[in-house]
Amino acid sequence: MRIGTEISRRPRGRPRSFTTSEVLERVRAVFMEKGFAAASLDELAEAAGLNRPSLYAAFGDKEQLYIHALRVYGEKSVVGLDAILGGKGTIERRLGQVYKAAIELYTAPPNAQGCMIVGTATVEAPTRPRIAAAAIELLNAIEQSFERAFARAVRDGELAREPTPAARARMAGAALDTLAIRARIGAKPSDLRAFAASMIPAICR
């Protein structure tokens, strides 16, 4: 689900109008570059194009702002997954398309930043339970998208009933997480593609 709500806030002076999804995408870029802890409120406000009172009035404190950005990122990810996995072709082909799209996203210039959930939420989760809960919710949604695709493949006779669609979904999600981690630490796209190609037969056996 993409969020594009137009919001006006009046913390001080004249009203400021903005598109929620655009603001959250800009602050997400700061969180991805700096991490949650190192991203300052001034940097976030500047990226958002809002003053700090306006940013707080619209999204709450820094943690709430991060969670808003994380959820929009996760929701877009699930929409993208559903679009690919619900398309035509064999399950192996569709799974390959998912990993190809993920690798392109994770290694996009100027910096290969990986996945927001894996790369930043995991760092804060031990001491920030609200961030942990939001990340788990999104990871579960991603696994459910995979599970729906594998259940379809079982119904279509492409895959055996065992391992179950849920088990295959966990393997597919774990491979996606691994791609994000490897991208974050600088693995070459060619190496990521080779890793993904090696995982697809194991998942779809």
Using one digit for the tens of pLDDT, what is the confidence trace for 179-193? Answer: 999 999 999 999 999
Helix axes 41-48, 52-59, angle to 10 degrees: 80
Percent of the chain surpassing pLDDT 90: 85
pTM of the model: 0.86
Q: What is the mean pLDDT of the chain?
A: 91
CA distance 152 to 161: 11
The stretch 121-147 carries a mean pLDDT of 96
CA distance 103 to 180: 8
Of the candidates 57, 44, 38, 7, which has an alpha carbon nearest to the alpha carbon of residue 123? 38
Sign of CA dihedral 69, 71, 73, 75: negative
Nearest 5°: CA angle at 168, between 167 and 172? 120
Question: What's at 65, amino acid-wise?
Answer: L
The H or E element containing residue 15 is none
What is the pLDDT at residue 50? 93
Using one digit for the tens of pLDDT, what is the confidence trace for 153-167? Answer: 999 999 999 999 999
CA distances from 1 to 44, 71, 73, 181 (A): 23, 10, 10, 25
The stretch 4-28 carries a mean pLDDT of 65
- Rounded to 10 degrees, what is the CA torsion of 3, 115, 148, 5? 0
Q: Which residue has the higher pLDDT, 109 or 156?
A: 156
Question: What's at 151, amino acid-wise?
Answer: A
Contact indicator for 63, 110 with CB cutoff of 8 Å: no
CA distance 42 to 84: 38
- How is residue 170 written in tokens? 């966990």
Instruction: Give the SS3 label for residue 37.
Output: coil
